[in-house]
Amino acid sequence: MKTVSVVVSVYNEEQVLEAFYRETSRVLEQQRQKDWDYELLFVNDGSQDGSPAVLGRLAAANPRVKVISFSRNFGHEAAMIAGIDYSRGDGIICMDADLQHPPQCIPEILEKFDEGYQVVSMARTRNESAGWFKNLASPAFYRLINLLSDVKLESNASDFFGISRKVSEVLKKHYRERVRFLRGYVQNVGFKKTVIPYEARARAAGKSKYSIRKLMRFSVNTILCFSNLPLKLGIYAGVFAALLGVGVMVYTLFTRGGAPSGYATIVVLNCFMFAILFLIVGIIGEYISILFAELKDRPIYIVEDTENLESGGNLPE
C-alpha cells in the first residue's frame, strides 16, 4: 500500500484546526479503505495561541498525526520545507490549515499520482477571501516576474500542490536556499506535471497571516531570486545617461555661446540622475543581502519538538 504525506503549516490556527482535521481525516480515512495510507504532518510554525495544545490532542488520538514544532516562527515556506523533509510518503501534498485548500481535492491528486504524474499543481480559479488588492496585485506580480526571469510561473498557482517522493528528494537536496520561492521551484523542477483547477474557499475562521507588507517583501525576494535582470539596470541607465549627455552637448554647441542660463535644467537633471544612481545602488544592496544570507548558511528552520515521529524522518544529510 502506498502512503501519502499531507503537510500542513500551522501558525496561530487554533480556531480552524479541529474543523480542518475533521474534514481532512475523513477524506484520508476513506482513501485508506481503498489504496492510499496516510500520514498527516502538522508543522507548528511557532504559534503563540492554543494551536500546540490542539495538535497535541490530535496526535495523542491518532498515531497517523505527526507534529513538528519549530522553536519560533520561521514562515510558511520554512514550514512546508520542514514538512517535506520529514515526510515519508510516496506522494506529498502541501496545504494550508485554514480550509482554503479543499481536502476534497486530495483523492483527485492521488489519482494523478497513480497515473504517474510527479508534480500536481493546483490552480486557483477563484479566491473568495482575498481582498481587491491581492486580486489585482497577484496577476500583476506574476506578469512582472515572467517578464523579468527566464522561468515561467503560473499566475494562479498556490501553495497547494502534490509532489512525488522523487521530486521531494530533489527539493531536499538541491533547493536549500535561504531566500526562496518554493512554489516556483515546484513548477520548475520539470518531471511529468499536471494542473488541477480548484476553487479556493473563504478562510474557515481566524485571520490571514500575510499582511500587505509581508507580501511586498515576498514579491521582491521572489524577483531577486529568479532574475538578475535588475542588476543590468545599471548598464541601461549608463547608456541612457551617455546618450543624454551627447544630446545636451550637441545642443550647446549649436546654440554657440548663446546657451540658455539653464539653472532649472541642471537641477532637474541632477536630481534625476542621482535618483537613478541610488535606485541601482539599492538594487545591488538587495542582492548583496541575499548573498549575505546564503553565506551565513543559517538553518531554514529549527525544530524544538516532534510528536509521533520516532527517528526524525528522512532528513537531508
Site residues for Mg ion per CB under 5 A: 96, 98, 100
CB of 201 to Mg ion, least distance (A): 10
Residue 45 or 98 with smaller CB distance to Mg ion: 98
Q: Is 201 in the site for ligand UDP (CB under 6 A)?
A: no
Residue 44 or 227 with smaller CB distance to Mg ion: 44
How would DSSP label each residue in the chain? -EEEEEEEEESS-HHHHHHHHHHHHHHHHHHHHHTEEEEEEEEE-S--SSHHHHHHHHHHH-TTEEEEEESS---HHHHHHHHHHH--SSEEEEEETTS-S-GGGHHHHHHHHHTT-SEEEEEEEEESSS-HHHHHHHHHHHHHHHHHSSS---TTEEEEEEEEHHHHHHHHHH---SS--HHHHHHHS-SSEEEEEEEEPPPSSS--S--HHHHHHHHHHHHHHH--GGGGHHHHHHHHHHHHHHHHHHHHHHTTT-----HHHHHHHHHHHHHHHHHHHHHHHHHHHHHHHHHHT--S--EEEEES-SS--S---
Residue 210 or 251 with smaller CB distance to Mg ion: 210
Q: Which of residues 20-49 bind ligand UDP (CB under 6 A)?
A: 45
CB of 87 to ligand UDP, least distance (A): 16
Residue 179 or 204 with smaller CB distance to Mg ion: 204
Residue 307 binds which entry of Mg ion, ligand UDP, none, CB below 5-8 Å type-dependent: none
Q: Is 208 in the site for ligand UDP (CB under 6 A)?
A: yes
Residue 209 binds which entry of Mg ion, ligand UDP, none, CB below 5-8 Å type-dependent: ligand UDP
Q: State the binding string over 75-104 for ligand UDP (x if CB under 6 A, else -).
A: xx--x----------------xxx-x----
Residue 99 or 145 with smaller CB distance to ligand UDP: 99
Residue 76 binds which entry of ligand UDP, Mg ion, none, CB below 5-8 Å type-dependent: ligand UDP
- How many residues contact ligand UDP, by CB under 6 A? 16
Q: Which of 4, 6, 7, 10 binds ligand UDP (CB under 6 A)?
A: 10
Q: Is 138 in the site for ligand UDP (CB under 6 A)?
A: no
CB of 137 to Mg ion, least distance (A): 16
Alpha-carbon gap, residue 7 to 139, rounded angstroms: 26
In the complex, the residues that contact ligand UDP under the rule CB under 6 A are 9-11, 13, 45, 73, 75-76, 79, 96-98, 100, 208-210
